[in-house]
Structure 1
Amino acid sequence: MVGKKSGKALRDEGLERTDNNMDLSSWPQVQAINQKNYYTDYLKRDDQYLAFRLQNEEARTKMTKTAKDRDRALAMAKPEGAEGEAEADGDATMEDAEDTPIETAGSKVIVIHVGSQNLRIGLSSDALPKTVPMVIARKASKNESEDHPEPKPKRVKRDDGTAEEPENLFGEEWSSQFNRMSADLKVHMRQNKRRMLPNSKEMVVNFNRRTVPETISEHNDPMRVEWTELSKPPPEYIVGQPALRLPDSSNPRYKLYWPILNGCCNETDYKSKRELFLDISLILEDAIKTQLGLTSKKNWPQYSCVFVIPDLYEKSYVNQVLEMLMREFAFARVCFIQESLAATFGAGFTSACVVDIGAQKTSICCVEEGMCVENSRVNLKMGGRDVTETFIQMMLHDHFPYTDINLWRRYDFLLAEELKKNLCTMDEASVSPQVFDFHLRVAGQDTQKHTFKAFDEVHLAPMGFFEPTIFDNSDKLLGRRKLIERSVDIYDGQSNDPVSTAQSEILTALAPPLPKANGDSQPASSEVQATPARPQQPSALGRLQDQDQTPRSSVAGSPVPETNGTPQAGGANTPAAAPTTQPSHPAVESRDDILPVFPLDNAILTSIAHAARSDEKKMKDFIGGYYGRWRGHLDQWFLDERLRSLRPAFTKDIMIGVPPRDLDPQVVVWKGASIFGKLNATNDSWIGQLEYDRLGHRLMAYKCMWAY
């Protein structure tokens, strides 16, 4: 073993270590932080955020300007010797002030509420909004009816290509469900002591079989339609009501596009995301110019904008809308508000369960003290458009005289909407064989007057909200996520769109069963897909009914569209997802192959159950003050009766709220957003141009009143 050498030996060998006091590098040396005792206040104070700094600076600037104006007014005051002149000048100043018009609160705020079928827009100072169809017509080689060779509603054809009999026009399964609903209605009416003729259905069918239309010449039709005439040269696009009044046989052809479908972006009819949001921008721009009279875009930077978004929104959609409003429209400020919260503003409620039935979407959310309860949000893909289509199906089933009706044609679509609006009702007293008539008006043709009879179709079509399998749900998921991907977190790559345990619970009930332990799963055979799903009750609703000791009612789920690689959501031989205390798959909400179509009454109670969290007092508050915003699709008392049958323990507490001053329920959300737009002193949600230029859509995390 070699011993340690001495310093003298190392010096003799030239290996002695020397130090010349020079640094190893010219870079500054940073001392290591003492890990036991260090502190930083980075991003721990509000004044370190740009959004809050700009807000405070704006307040200081306003206060400074007010002080300067006051000092200037005092400095310009006359001396004591000229009191008379000062009084005269003061009187003149007061007269000038009276002559100067005072700006109305909200006159510089534009409120926009975009829906699947209609756009409501107006100034915050307006009493009511302007309603514009959310549609645009573009030049195309074919119109929408020519582009879809199969009519709507879809008919079943024989093997030889000929049409089936009206009773089997939509398949045996649909006909059997319609007949069962009709038989259940008869039983219910007899229980309520309502008289009904035993052969009512036969009377309707026989009358409709032999009726013949009456032809009315155009000059004898006092209610003839003014069709949209094309200019020369024809425009590239037409927006709003004129687009719906374009003749189907126009030259050149135009095709209708609806940018919003089932409450979200229409990814089925568009080829790119740019075209989709371009159409949204064109519709909004035309509405601002024609409905609000702001024809010059140079004046738009003087206006602010309040934009209404869904409760369960998609961040990619909100971010794109924010960019559109700030960049293309150049508004001075923009803020967002959720639909249910805006509804409580408009209805004057502090706490309520808001039920919003739109054209193609139904949303449910509990609002408590000015905040949407996150876990109570429910979004169902069904609405008044489904009632329209189902009503036409039921009428065709009972030999409707206008057998060639096709909702892809514009005049047929408007006719069907008019028939639904005038005839459909939830009042059982109105269910009886009655004679009705309608006028079929086609551009360039004589008007045809049809007479027909209707019986229980007027009641059973809106009953589809409680038995949604009667609706045609086969194409509601087509093209989903084709153009717009889910918003994801930049750190973990997971989806950061808002989630709700109530929505997850409903999707879990509709989801296909999990694979077995050995890896096998239920086969997605035609036998399984032959019968619609009837899953069990959601867990929260089941716990509530267990507390009431009442039997659980049957809940009909909705089958998933038959697409390749997508399993059917339940079936005749498919067991439903077992109810648990919490949804067994929290990530099931992020699945886009499950269609959220669920009975309305059960969905309302599920939302309330997740908002109350087993608190009986909150349960009574929500169920005793729920507010409905629907467009004549449901009667208030009927939904009350359905909820009382499910929750008999709260029979005395269930009560629906009505809008104040007989306000139309369709505009309550817009009205609440307009009120929100006037709260300049207490509204911290405004996003300015300077803030957006520096931070972009990241500002939403600081500016929204909810957790964005």
Structure 2
Amino acid sequence: MAPPKKSGRALLREEGLERTDNNLRTHSWPVIPMINQKNYYTEYLKREEQIMVFRQQQEDLLRAQAALLEKEKQVSMVADPMAMDIDRGAEEGEETAEQEEALGSKVIVIHTGSQNMRIGLASDALPRSFPNCIARKADKAEYEEEERCPKRMKVAEENEDSDDEGPQFGEEFDSQFNAMSNELKVRMRHNKRRILPNSRDLVLSYNRRTPPETIKEHNDPYRVEWTDTGRNKAPDHFVGNEALRVPDNSDPRYRLFWPIQYGTFNERDYHSKRRVLEDISVILEEGIKRELNIEKKDLKLYSAVLVVPDLYDKNYVTEMLNLLLKEFWFAQVCIIQESLAATFGAGFSQACIVDIGAQKTSVCCVEEGMCLAESRLNLKYGGRDVTIALMKMMLSYSFPYRDINLRRRYDFLLAEELKAKYATLNDSDISVQAHDFHLRAPEQDTKKYHFKTYDEVMLAPLTHFKPTILSHEEKLTGRRSLWERSYDLYDGQPNDPLSTAQHSLYQSLMPRPSSTGNDSTVNMGAITPARPTLAGFGGFGAHLTAADTTPRSSIAGSPAPEGTPAPPGTTTPLVPGPGGIPHPGSVGAPQPTGPTPMEQAEDRDRVVPIMPLDAAIVESITHAAKGEEKKIKDFLASIMVVGGGSLVSGFNHQLEERIRALKPSKDYQIIIGVPPRELDPMVIVWKGASVFGKLKISNDSWIRQNEYDILGSRLLTYKCLWTF
């Protein structure tokens, strides 16, 4: 007889498999239910009150309103309210004027240039300017270590003492120099200017056979007072004009340093970051103490307005901000861009600003108090390149002082003086003219040289429109040797600002690979850059370029057959396999290929950005207008040239003619404006920064000490008027 059947529960109980727990949890951690993905919402960083910077501004505003209400309550308690209203209005007017004056007197505006530094109180009419250089003790002076400037060829050095031929600077320079001279002759004939056929021969013969005159020191009324180094107690450094007047053969020796070059830190002549920042700190401290009579310990009561380039290195801005807040302990710091400051100084609401400095030229369009980001251009040439070009051209015409070397301080000052006196862009000034200058060197008698000039005084400043004749060999030396480029915190990509106008400039200058041979082994420095192409040159009206209006295919191309090896530098796309998992070697939808952002940044660091100035202005306006005809007309009619490089006589007229030649249509009125109220173009940027420092709206842009201690340079994202 078979045993009776048992239920499943009985079997579990007999075999010990029945669950006997009491539903107690095995842990004490709280169980968080899953978020319903269909309807969830967060307010994190969605309101300004959740950001410390904006919240602190609101708290300051509420405090000021509370103080004002308290003051009004005290006033309302007076017996005669009518009389008190009149008195209160008068007092408030007086207090407002006093507050504005007090605000300007407690704000120091700083504009650091490659050659000059301009500082001053915002309440001052004009800034104090001095050379942005420092002379420090060294084993050798700069002229003893570096090659002569302008650089001579070896063959020319052998023939330099002979009367047959002056120093030459290479066949390429001579050919471009002669081409520019012939173009000038054609231009002058077209303008009905008289030209002597043997003008160059007259200049050469006169300069070769005229010896200098020696003038004793007691007969020279304009003798130079050189800086006394003091052999026994020689100071460690000299700053500004004193540094430029230190004798080159002094005992002990001093070497001249320029901590700012081409709008950023000088990485060519320095070997450490700390020394660069220390020199900037010493120059700024000495300048504030001498020019403004303010001690460093009192700067905690002052605010600072820092002027930075339109296209800047982020490391430069963050290091300068840290220097002002942590080395000088300013109460607060505000940052403004050069082109925006120029419009504030000139009172323009819309303009195309062309800033010609000593070593860089920047072009940017400004509209309604904002720099149009895509129009910014930064060109690495300026007034100092014109000085070197003038010396080359004068030496080609047998300049009597053949041993001139801009590495020597007194020769550098002499060259700047000759450029300021004789450089011109007026056709009427071009003829064979006799001049003289005095060479004053330390511990030597003054020598008076007589010389003649012809067309070199006009061809030198014309290099702004033909920058390929300039020497750009050493402009990238030491680049990124001290400071690496700035990287994004999230994706690790380079994040220094780059406009579309500057990007198109780099693209036009990138070397073209040879048609024969392997493209991957092309030497970047051995290839002549491609000729710059202008966006929208065919017509300002429609769009940026003709290519932008043409429908284009995908940049990735068509997929290759399976098994075909991918070209170098590309990645093989993956397609989902079974279960949605991609398997290697599969070919599916094409992905964009080409150089990575890091490779593009490295390529840009190997190219010197140069372009004719007239073409650069057209390029900037084209990218700023984005095809709008009205904006193009407005910007072309409101071009303003500022900076020391624009002081050449006839520069604005020459620039206007060349821009009109690029676009001869009568629909566009081209006007090159000048700063109002007869302001010096060199100080217009500083003047605008001083105006900005006194505005009430600029309170939102101040970076205070307590905020910087918490967030550091990240504050620039919230405080700058532009996208940092």
Provide the TM-score with structure 1 as the length reference: 0.87
- Residue 28 (structure 1) shift: 2.4
Amino acid at match of 1:120: R
CA distance in 1, matches of 2:156, 2:245: 37
625-634 or 341-350, which deviates more? 625-634
Which residue is 1:608 aligned to?
621
Closer/same/farther in 2, CA of residues 155 and 545 from structure 1, 3 Å limit: farther
- Residue 230 (structure 1) shift: 2.3
Specify the SS of the correspondent of 1:653.
coil
1:666-677 superposed matches below 5 A? 666-677=682-693
Closer/same/farther in 2, CA of residues 658 and 688 from structure 1, 3 Å limit: same
Amino acid at match of 1:487: S
1:649 aligns to 2:665 (yes or no): yes
1:152 pairs with one of 149, 156, 159: 149
Specify the SS of the correspondent of 2:537.
helix
CA distance in 2, matches of 1:411, 1:166: 26
Tell me how large the CA RMSD over aligned residues is: 2.9
CA distance in 1, matches of 2:324, 2:682: 24
Which residue is 2:233 aligned to?
233
Which residue is 2:537 aligned to?
541
Which residue is 1:658 aligned to?
674
- Residue 497 (structure 1) shift: 1.1
8 Å contact from structure 1 (residues 342, 669) kept in 2: yes
CA distance in 1, matches of 2:362, 2:717: 23
Closer/same/farther in 2, CA of residues 320 and 650 from structure 1, 3 Å limit: farther
Which residue is 1:113 aligned to?
111
Which residue is 2:290 aligned to?
290
Closer/same/farther in 2, CA of residues 542 and 488 from structure 1, 3 Å limit: farther
2:653 pairs with one of 618, 637, 643: 637
- Residue 440 (structure 1) shift: 0.4
CA distance in 1, matches of 2:521, 2:538: 25
CA distance in 2, matches of 1:545, 1:615: 7
1:624 aligns to 2:637 (yes or no): yes
Amino acid at match of 1:320: E
For residues 609-655 of structure 1, give each alpha carbon's deviation from its aligned partner in whole angstroms, at most 9, with x where no partner exists. Answer: 00111111110000111111132146111100000000111575100
- Residue 546 (structure 1) shift: 10
CA distance in 1, matches of 2:228, 2:511: 51
Closer/same/farther in 2, CA of residues 73 and 492 from structure 1, 3 Å limit: same
8 Å contact from structure 2 (residues 514, 522) kept in 1: no
Which residue is 2:451 aligned to?
452
Amino acid at match of 1:151: R
Specify the SS of the correspondent of 1:540.
coil
Closer/same/farther in 2, CA of residues 437 and 301 from structure 1, 3 Å limit: same
Specify the SS of the correspondent of 1:539.
coil
- Residue 13 (structure 1) shift: 1.7
Amino acid at match of 1:656: I
Which residue is 1:596 aligned to?
609
Specify the SS of the correspondent of 1:158.
helix
Closer/same/farther in 2, CA of residues 340 and 589 from structure 1, 3 Å limit: farther
Which residue is 1:44 aligned to?
46
Which residue is 1:569 aligned to?
none
1:209-224 superposed matches below 5 A? 209-224=208-223
CA distance in 1, matches of 2:506, 2:544: 25
- Residue 677 (structure 1) shift: 0.4
CA distance in 2, matches of 1:54, 1:214: 70
Closer/same/farther in 2, CA of residues 639 and 101 from structure 1, 3 Å limit: closer
CA distance in 2, matches of 1:195, 1:4: 129
1:59 pairs with one of 36, 45, 61: 61
Which residue is 1:33 aligned to?
35
Closer/same/farther in 2, CA of residues 168 and 32 from structure 1, 3 Å limit: same
- Residue 680 (structure 1) shift: 2.2
Amino acid at match of 1:292: L
Point out where structure 2 has 5 or more consecutive residues left out of the alignment: 546-593
1:92-111 superposed matches below 5 A? 103-111=101-109
Specify the SS of the correspondent of 1:706.
coil
CA distance in 2, matches of 1:388, 1:189: 24
CA distance in 1, matches of 2:716, 2:6: 69
200-209 or 463-472, which deviates more? 463-472
Amino acid at match of 1:450: Y
CA distance in 1, matches of 2:29, 2:216: 95
8 Å contact from structure 1 (residues 644, 650) kept in 2: no
Provide the TM-score with structure 2 as the length reference: 0.86
Which residue is 2:722 aligned to?
706
CA distance in 2, matches of 1:683, 1:285: 25
CA distance in 1, matches of 2:541, 2:521: 30
For residues 78-107 of structure 1, give each alpha carbon's deviation from its aligned partner in whole angstroms, at most 9, with x where no partner exists. Answer: x89xx9xx99xx99x98xx99x97744411
- Residue 187 (structure 1) shift: 1.1
Specify the SS of the correspondent of 1:379.
strand
For residues 37-83 of structure 1, give each alpha carbon's deviation from its aligned partner in whole angstroms, at most 9, with x where no partner exists. Answer: 111101000111111111111111122223334445666x5x89xx9
1:690 aligns to 2:706 (yes or no): yes
Closer/same/farther in 2, CA of residues 534 and 209 from structure 1, 3 Å limit: farther
Closer/same/farther in 2, CA of residues 159 and 213 from structure 1, 3 Å limit: closer
CA distance in 2, matches of 1:236, 1:4: 105
- Residue 161 (structure 1) shift: 6.1
Closer/same/farther in 2, CA of residues 269 and 216 from structure 1, 3 Å limit: same
CA distance in 2, matches of 1:206, 1:162: 17
Quote the sequence identity (%).
Answer: 53
Which residue is 2:461 aligned to?
462
184-193 or 380-389, which deviates more? 184-193
CA distance in 2, matches of 1:5, 1:300: 93
8 Å contact from structure 1 (residues 288, 294) kept in 2: yes
CA distance in 1, matches of 2:697, 2:472: 46
CA distance in 1, matches of 2:104, 2:497: 30
Amino acid at match of 1:538: L
Which residue is 1:129 aligned to?
127
- Residue 542 (structure 1) shift: 4.4
8 Å contact from structure 1 (residues 152, 407) kept in 2: yes
CA distance in 2, matches of 1:354, 1:200: 38
8 Å contact from structure 1 (residues 153, 406) kept in 2: yes
Specify the SS of the correspondent of 1:47.
helix
CA distance in 1, matches of 2:154, 2:7: 104
8 Å contact from structure 1 (residues 659, 665) kept in 2: yes
1:362 aligns to 2:361 (yes or no): yes
Size of the aligned set, in residue pairs, is 655
Which residue is 1:568 aligned to?
none
Amino acid at match of 1:666: M
